[in-house]
Structure 1
């Protein structure tokens, strides 16, 4: 794993902050999720296991190409279902299966421009002391898909091999326009704290093709106040790194 943030060539595409981030992770056999990855990308593994992540957070202050932060459209709640990936060039990243977000215009832009699996959702975040409760309901025809997660930080900072595996990710892989792309990013090392789940009632994992995974407790739970991130230009996943 490349633990330190990489150099990100200019021009930069956009920047944003990811705040009040809860990380819930389940260990799974890589072969159980291999079919969910885009062409040319495989599950990344640590000690023979890969992970499924459920990650609710606040996305704040998106700014395009070094411009000023968008005051409304660039700030919203989001909950992601994600996997951990590696391509033939050795680039490690994430693959998103679902990206629930409460801004319809951001959903449309993410789907159209980058091919990301954004879904419009009604969302909420409640603070009760150090307890965070995240709620999401996908807006779509058919049966409702909901997620409700409450987490509380309970311990000191953590920064071990598993934490680095899950969060030292410098890009994402996505299938778009018939090709597989890598969208690079950079950010400081995540300040993580151990956390515990107070409530978990989630349908996003099942809707993303992961069965009843959410019925068992996650294998790893962490919380972060957040980081600032910057994205570079997308490149084909088969293109050697700069």
Structure 2
């Protein structure tokens, strides 16, 4: 299953995960909002077992709203309730033992069962009221986390260029082509390997009305220049979570 995806590996700069994949998801209509931040502002917010990754001396945080349209376990039929839901990720870029990857500050989802399952797997998921509507070229997206007055997002976005595949060595490629997720519980580090075809994206336009997902950063860190990408869709394969420390 998905052997065509598994065979396409030249774009990876990190080792391919061992063993069979466990879960697959289809991600649709993604907006990548990339914000450059000072390494000093963010270094204390990642675990000591991970090294903050930078590009030309700058650290980056990304906010990513999107839709999951097909989630299923390997070799099992999909379950209607958890097959489709919305998700909103906040992440930064790290290395561990020289391997580039992602560290998540938060992941909001619109259905409770995926949240509970992911939290059991050590990922910082939160349940939120979320909506996504397409009006013409624009995707209108809203999210408000349960139990939090400020952890919210509201905005709209659309693609604004021809589709391109970011070349290795560019900032676009550095931000997008990441294939390991790390998390920490107490003193233990856990890793999740993923794989998908290379990203094909466009530049994007966005109008952000509310963004309360980065309370740990100084306000000036979130109003500087921003890089935007839009991606139509990607099929993603996930490997089982592994304790690595």
TM-score normalised over the length of structure 1: 0.88
Q: Which residue of 1 aligns with 2:131?
A: 124
Q: Which residue of 2 aligns with 1:143?
A: 149
Do the aligned partners of 2:26 and 2:233 also contact (CA within 8 Å) in 1? yes
Residue ranges of structure 1 left out of the alignment (5+ in a row)? none
User: Which of residues 153, 163, 173 in structure 1 aligns to 2:182?
Assistant: 173
User: Which of residues 205, 217, 223 in structure 1 aligns to 2:230?
Assistant: 223
Q: How do 1:72-221 residues align onto structure 2 when only pairs under 5 Å count?
A: 72-87=81-96, 89-112=97-120, 114-140=121-147, 143-158=149-164, 159-160=166-167, 161-176=170-185, 178-206=187-215, 209-212=216-219, 216=223, 218-221=225-228
The alignment covers a number of residue pairs equal to 232
Do the aligned partners of 2:41 and 2:218 also contact (CA within 8 Å) in 1? no
Q: For each residue in 1:72-94, what CA deviation from the matched residue of structure 2 results, as whole angstroms up to 9, or x when unmatched?
A: 2132001111111101x212111
What RMSD in Å do the two structures reach over aligned CA positions? Answer: 2.0
Q: Distance in 1 between matches of 2:106 and 2:91?
A: 7
Q: Which residue of 2 aligns with 1:233?
A: 240
Residue ranges of structure 2 left out of the alignment (5+ in a row)? 1-9
SS where residue 240 of structure 2 aligns?
coil
Q: Distance in 1 between matches of 2:22 and 2:102?
A: 18
Do the aligned partners of 1:149 and 1:197 also contact (CA within 8 Å) in 2? yes
Q: Which residue of 2 aligns with 1:61?
A: 70
SS where residue 83 of structure 2 aligns?
coil
Q: For each residue in 1:81-118, what CA deviation from the matched residue of structure 2 results, as whole angstroms up to 9, or x when unmatched?
A: 1111101x212111111111111111111111x21111
Do the aligned partners of 1:18 and 1:58 also contact (CA within 8 Å) in 2? yes
1:186–1:54 CA distance, 2 compared to 1 (3 A): same
1:66–1:35 CA distance, 2 compared to 1 (3 A): farther
After TM superposition, the runs of 4+ consecutive aligned structure 1 residues lying more than 6 A away are: none
Q: Which residue of 2 aligns with 1:27?
A: 36
1:201–1:218 CA distance, 2 compared to 1 (3 A): farther
Q: For each residue in 1:159-209, what CA deviation from the matched residue of structure 2 results, as whole angstroms up to 9, or x when unmatched?
A: 141111111000101013630111110011111100111234111122xx2
